[in-house]
Structure 1
């Protein structure tokens, strides 16, 4: 049981690594002239008698496969994306298993799960600007901004729409959705969802934690988002027959860098305030814990059903065999399976009561009282399984975090290489747009699917938990992920080239906050919010085009 996380991760890696390496290889092109670069990069004109370089678009990470073609990088992107998705699932499952160890739900659901849920996105942001030279970090930081913007905007638009469509119910005369209704029909004005009041607190927290964006962006607006970064020619150095053109270490005005530090400080303060609020107002955390308990109970029911079916098949085969126990004495295996069947009936009864009761804890305690023997069996099983659960949780968290740490850097390299003009083939767009679409899917896919399935139950408690998670994830991006991004800009002395991206992030968050700050969402609200995803990409491209010229 404890080996399953390891096997689920290592076996696909071992099976796919050779294929990925073969599929992603491409011959290098021999070049004798320097590739033109921007003024902010370092241009080297090599001596004809010097040692040949590795060629354009060489791999930054030599331990893992790399490619210099679009199709090779797509294969690598899928490979690394699957690994990061599995790692995110392992981290989420490992953290939720802590609930089975008796730890308080506010601590797990309100503090540990949000922090660990932001780890994949945070890791991509870290490796995008923390490694390599300053010019390399300046270029690859686009991947970090694409991850930050894409994760925030995607979570607030597409899952927002999907949860509304899957969880929609009929709206009654009082203007609120009626649980369990709306099956088999569709109306954009007469159907919708109704949330619990505390979800609105999550919207307020999301809007409040988005304000630090205005610190860094305000300084850039004061300087001018269309002004050139440097008016003087970059200094040059001559060494024998090699001419090296270098850029200033930091071309933005000093107050822009100081604003990055101030933004980082306010994001860290906002993170601690949000964590404290999660511990104080634990209703969302309790709902998340209840969701985990239901999922685990359903898994146990499925496992017991399978065991009961297998035991009946074995018993029928044993009764027809010559030595199948004709004297009425049961074999130890059959007795063991009958014991499991008794436990199965208990689990199934508890699951039915929990699924139909409006207040699961109270209803379950009043309506289901197991027999004394079943209590003893359950106690023994709980004592035996706690150690297994602890080991399984530790393994899942450790393996998940290790995979994120190892494969975030090559994933960042692949996303950068897909748009590198020095490669044999490349996409003629910025790396920002690729990471905007790809990385949020890798880091949030499993959690999104689980939340959408939970929303299909068409109950107010379930749908409220889903939207609480969406607003909470955006808040974590506004605090933890933005603080990491600002730290990279300040300590690596990088230029701020993301006026368009930050403006769009703020507009989308505020628009969703305004639309969502109400108890009842009608279906047609979702189409507006869902369209904001495409609108955000188009707006970034427009602001960075020659018509507006933001950088």
Structure 2
């Protein structure tokens, strides 16, 4: 596939070099140099002040002097498709190269800092190109140039605002498209039968049942969704001046939002760097909780009485009797040998259980005095803590009251901790098994793909923005709506791979798919927004995107909170996601055209 894309790119560049001439906007004839002129004399060209991307109704500028442009509707549709596909190829090269490099170098510095930035690079380049306009300068050949320069500057600012809206359209459109169309599509292609509130891998017998089929993810996907919600903070900050109607502090809020956005970008990259280490610690904690639940379940089945009282509190008397049962020497203390005998007698189902580490873990939890033995009071306090954790876990799971409190709390705790440990172990095992053959060759290939993708994105982002702008002018459709609908599909290469991954109908692949979606939105919210805010601040533009920010906040917060608080998504949730896309467009249109937000 990469070879086909490269051949298409070379063929397109060769075709562009064969094209001779085309419509364009010229500069003043320099034969008049040295003569006094009022600026409107016998000038043969259409204008004498050059503004990048400023086209009249009957002319356009060729980007780089050879890439074609047009002022017709169909012509611009064709150019948007061509340049959009080239940007898609660039994004694909960056994505594939990043994955190869990540497989070779691992998820450390490269995976945490370098690759997340590359994933959002196409969007950032398009946003950057959407506001590059030459500032008109005075020309000594024209004595009345000051007046003309002023008029040209006003027109340039107006045109710049139009083109900046293209960047905002991409920023908002990418977020909404990923969390609505792509999110809902992944639910449909990845659906499995839901049994006991969890989607069963590779089992899809219930068709399009809105409640009986769906997708389940692991806890890491939920964490990614919560991080995505945090990433909208800069949007909220930048809107403060408009909410308070204080235009004097507008630039200050833009600067503060820019600083916060860059800080979140750095924090997110550092999180990606240390995430594997965090995951290992979480796995160790999950194993410890499973150890707790296993011991509690074993002790519950071997004692008379209940570990919980009628009001749900730990039963101190039952715990003391349990201590006397374990204390085979009747010396009032539980030694390391006693704890080891207890753990061996439980016969945990984990094949890789380290007995010594397990004994140390239990002693660390119970032996608060550090004398390598557990007395009656330490045992009561430790068991009470464990039972309280089991109770909280069962309540959080929403257990019914069909069984006794002790049985219900402990069984639910055991089930949840086992599932959590299995998910984390499966993820670690699959990451450790994967290996890359011929690492040197693949590393060279990955670097070449990254360089090619970067160059292609940098070259064709500018003509793509021009085509969108010209199409907007030719059709009188606001440039925001054109870029909102079209550009996200050109710069989001993860859409195809996400749906392919989701179609494998496994919890593991579904988790990776949705984590990738949430991660892409997060990077767009902080990296692309940082570029956008930087342009707004340093070019002294006005932030006037209240309606656009509102739809970003609505979609991100709604989907982020929803996905961050659950791990199973029935099929009906895809309909909710799909509905958000047209509602977002309608909301922007109503706010801008009827309520005057823009």
Compute the TM-score of the two structures, normalised by the length of structure 1: 0.69
2:16 matched residue in structure 1: 17
> Can you give the 5+ residue segments of structure 1 that lack an aligned partner in the other structure?
29-44, 225-252, 287-357, 369-377, 421-425
Distance between the aligned counterparts of 1:528 and 1:508, measured in 2?
Answer: 11
2:126 matched residue in structure 1: 124
Contact 2:5 / 2:89 at 8 angstroms: preserved in 1? no
1:261 matched residue in structure 2: 255
Distance between the aligned counterparts of 1:178 and 1:543, measured in 2?
Answer: 43
Aligned pair 1:170/2:193, yes or no? Answer: yes
Contact 2:207 / 2:213 at 8 angstroms: preserved in 1? no
1:56 aligns to what SS in structure 2? coil
Query: Which of 219, 228, 241 is the equivalent residue of 1:197?
Result: 219
Matched positions, count = 410
Aligned pair 1:505/2:545, yes or no? Answer: no
* Larger-Rg structure: 2
Deviation readout 1:105-127 (Å, 9 max, x if unpaired): 34454443321110000000011
1:466 matched residue in structure 2: 513
Deviation readout 1:137-159 (Å, 9 max, x if unpaired): 22210110011001111011111
Query: Which of 194, 202, 207 is the equivalent residue of 2:229?
Result: 207
2:100 matched residue in structure 1: 97
Relative to structure 1, is the Cα distance of residues 160 and 284 closer, same or farther in structure 2, using a 3 angstrom cutoff? farther
Q: 1:386 Cα shift? A: 3.2
2:231 aligns to what SS in structure 1? helix
For 1:103-118, what aligned pairs fall within 5 Å after superposition? 103-118=105-120
Distance between the aligned counterparts of 2:552 and 2:579, measured in 1?
Answer: 15
Distance between the aligned counterparts of 2:171 and 2:206, measured in 1?
Answer: 38
Contact 1:109 / 1:285 at 8 angstroms: preserved in 2? no
Contact 1:121 / 1:443 at 8 angstroms: preserved in 2? yes
Distance between the aligned counterparts of 2:547 and 2:102, measured in 1?
Answer: 42
Larger CA deviation: 509-518 vs 51-60: 51-60
1:130 aligns to what SS in structure 2? coil
Contact 1:9 / 1:86 at 8 angstroms: preserved in 2? no
Deviation readout 1:209-239 (Å, 9 max, x if unpaired): 1011111112112228xxxxxxxxxxxxxxx
Contact 1:108 / 1:285 at 8 angstroms: preserved in 2? no
Aligned pair 1:493/2:540, yes or no? Answer: yes
Query: Which of 530, 535, 546 is the equivalent residue of 1:483?
Result: 530
Q: 1:494 Cα shift? A: 1.0
Compute the TM-score of the two structures, normalised by the length of structure 2: 0.63
Aligned pair 1:535/2:583, yes or no? Answer: yes
2:219 aligns to what SS in structure 1? coil
Distance between the aligned counterparts of 2:218 and 2:277, measured in 1?
Answer: 10
For 1:360-399, what aligned pairs fall within 5 Å after superposition? 382=437, 385-399=438-452
Deviation readout 1:67-95 (Å, 9 max, x if unpaired): 11111111111111111111111111112
Q: 1:7 Cα shift? A: 4.0
2:131 aligns to what SS in structure 1? helix
Distance between the aligned counterparts of 1:510 and 1:106, measured in 2?
Answer: 29
Relative to structure 1, is the Cα distance of residues 81 and 365 closer, same or farther in structure 2, using a 3 angstrom cutoff? closer
Query: Which of 155, 160, 166 is the equivalent residue of 2:178?
Result: 155
Distance between the aligned counterparts of 2:250 and 2:577, measured in 1?
Answer: 33
1:189 aligns to what SS in structure 2? coil
Deviation readout 1:422-442 (Å, 9 max, x if unpaired): xxxx11211111111111101
Distance between the aligned counterparts of 1:477 and 1:145, measured in 2?
Answer: 11
> Can you give the 5+ residue segments of structure 2 that lack an aligned partner in the other structure?
26-37, 48-54, 136-155, 281-424
Deviation readout 1:328-381 (Å, 9 max, x if unpaired): xxxxxxxxxxxxxxxxxxxxxxxxxxxxxx949869999x9xxxxxxxxx9xx9
1:282 aligns to what SS in structure 2? helix
Contact 2:24 / 2:60 at 8 angstroms: preserved in 1? no
The alignment's C-alpha RMSD in Å is 3.1
1:419 matched residue in structure 2: 472
1:449 matched residue in structure 2: 496
For 1:77-96, what aligned pairs fall within 5 Å after superposition? 77-96=80-99
Q: 1:9 Cα shift? A: 4.8
Query: Which of 414, 421, 431 is the equivalent residue of 2:479?
Result: 431
1:290 matched residue in structure 2: none
Q: 1:164 Cα shift? A: 0.5
Q: 1:8 Cα shift? A: 2.9
Deviation readout 1:13-35 (Å, 9 max, x if unpaired): 1465379x69x96799xxxxxxx
Q: 1:51 Cα shift? A: 4.0
2:276 matched residue in structure 1: 282
Distance between the aligned counterparts of 1:466 and 1:75, measured in 2?
Answer: 32
1:31 matched residue in structure 2: none
2:305 matched residue in structure 1: none
Q: 1:46 Cα shift? A: 7.5
Query: Which of 64, 68, 74 is the equivalent residue of 2:67?
Result: 64
1:187 matched residue in structure 2: 209
Query: Which of 457, 471, 479 is the equivalent residue of 1:404?
Result: 457
Deviation readout 1:28-80 (Å, 9 max, x if unpaired): 9xxxxxxxxxxxxxxxx974644441572443423311111111111111111
1:418 aligns to what SS in structure 2? helix
Deviation readout 1:367-409 (Å, 9 max, x if unpaired): x9xxxxxxxxx9xx95xx3332232122111111001111111
Distance between the aligned counterparts of 1:76 and 1:218, measured in 2?
Answer: 39
Relative to structure 1, is the Cα distance of residues 470 and 138 closer, same or farther in structure 2, using a 3 angstrom cutoff? same
2:70 aligns to what SS in structure 1? coil
Relative to structure 1, is the Cα distance of residues 98 and 184 closer, same or farther in structure 2, using a 3 angstrom cutoff? same
